[in-house]
Amino acid sequence: NAGVTQTPKFQVLKTGQSMTLQCAQDMNHEYMSWYRQDPGMGLRLIHYSVGAGITDQGEVPNGYNVSRSTTEDFPLRLLSAAPSQTSVYFCASSERRPSTDTQYFGPGTRLTVL
């Protein structure tokens, strides 16, 4: 199993550009989520999904969209990039809910918005 994969590893955007961060898992996990990691702020939940076709907002959802058309994929879209979105983004998955099951993280995407 590849586990949780993310692309790209690095990305530089200009303010106002849009892009999609890709996340996929091959463990047939129901739950998937996106976090952003900023210095001194830990991991903050952006959006999450409890299954195909179901998504919900996390702690810091503004400026991001998600969709979950398949169990495997959970892309994160930045609609109009801003410098405040410069961060490291991690996708994670767990078999069911994170309150009972281990979360497996992807390798991360380092995003810089100029």
Q: How far is the CB of 2 from other proteins (least distance, A)?
A: 13
Burial of 62: CB neighbours in 10 Å, binned 0-12, 13-18, 19+: exposed
CA distance 65 to 24: 16
Based on CB atoms, which residue is closest to other proteins, 71 or 81?
71
Q: What share of the chain is helix, strand, coil (3-state, %, to 5)?
A: 5, 50, 45
Other residues' Cβ atoms within 10 Å of the Cβ of residue 104: 17
Nearest distance, CB of residue 46 and other proteins, angstroms? 11
Closest approach, Cβ 58 to other proteins, in A, equals 6
Residue for token digits 């692309």? 7
Looking at the Cβ atoms of 9 and 14, the one nearer to other proteins is 9
Q: Which residues bind other proteins (CB under 8 A)?
A: 31, 35, 40-45, 48, 50, 56, 58-59, 90, 97-100, 102-103, 105-108
Minimum distance from residue 82 beta carbon to other proteins (Å): 23
Would you say 26 or 59 has its CB closer to other proteins? 59
